Amino acid sequence: MHSGKALIFSAPSGSGKTTIVKHLLQTFSNLSFSISACTRDRRGRNEENGNDYYFMTPVEFKEKIDKDEFIEWEEVYPGNFYGTLKSEIDRIWSEGKHVIFDVDVKGGLSLKEYFKEKALAVFVKVPNLEVLQERLADRGTETEGSLSQRMFKAQFEMSFEEKFDATLLNENLEDSLVNAEEMFVAFTKE
């Protein structure tokens, strides 16, 4: 059995969790990103299959569900699936590394349940919903409709904070990065 651990960062979209996860990956060589499988289209030219996501058709994805190849999966929007492949975790742990996840709140809780004491589930919290809305709007990738959909989902997701092992308030990014480093070091020492 591998001695790898799982570090799970969850948060509503726009809370800065991806920035924090990328920072940890650049800082620690014994940490590897869990690449999710999804059925959505690539965003722009810079997303690569097997690097950013494992892109699949809904049919391929459903076949893997039937074969129980996912640790967790969900249909985020109708026909739009995301999930974590068991083979991906085996790959990372066999390299002697710890795995880090950047997932939504529902996915984070599923992963925490699956990995149990091998996991540290961190909820990344924004100071308030206004800050979140600004960050999402600043990306310039949201329509009026998708922004309100994300905000509605974010409000719901924020109610799950106490189900996580730890909360990281992302108000000042520099502080958040240092706090995230400290969490990782303390957790992997145990």
Q: What is the pLDDT of residues 14-56, one digit of tens each?
A: 888 999 999 999 999 999 999 989 998 887 777 888 888 899 9
Q: What are phi and psi of 21, to 5 degrees?
A: -60, -45
Query: The whole model's pTM is what?
Result: 0.84
Tell me the angle at which helices 17-27 and 173-189 cross, rounded to the nearest 10 degrees: 60
Please check the confidence at residue 115 and state whether its pLDDT lies above 80: yes
- C-alpha neighbours within 13 Å on the C-beta side of residue 3: 6
For the cut 80, the answer to whether the pLDDT of residue 190 exceeds it is no
On the question of pLDDT at 169 being above 60, the answer is yes
Closest to 33 (Cα-Cα) out of 95, 125, 116: 95
Task: Tell which wins on pLDDT, 149 or 26.
Answer: 26
144 vs 168 pLDDT, higher one: 168
Higher pLDDT, 1 or 12: 12
| Range scoring the smallest mean pLDDT among 10-19, 40-49, 69-78, 117-126 | 40-49
Residue 29: what residue type? S
Per-residue pLDDT at 2: 58
Is the pLDDT reported for residue 1 higher than 60? no
Q: Looking at residue 76, what is its pLDDT?
A: 81
Give me the chain's average pLDDT, please.
Answer: 91
The mean pLDDT of 102-124, rounded to a whole number, is 93
Which has the higher per-residue pLDDT, 91 or 40? 91
Using CB atoms within 10 A of its CB, is residue 76 exposed (0-12), middle (13-18) or buried (19+)?
A: middle
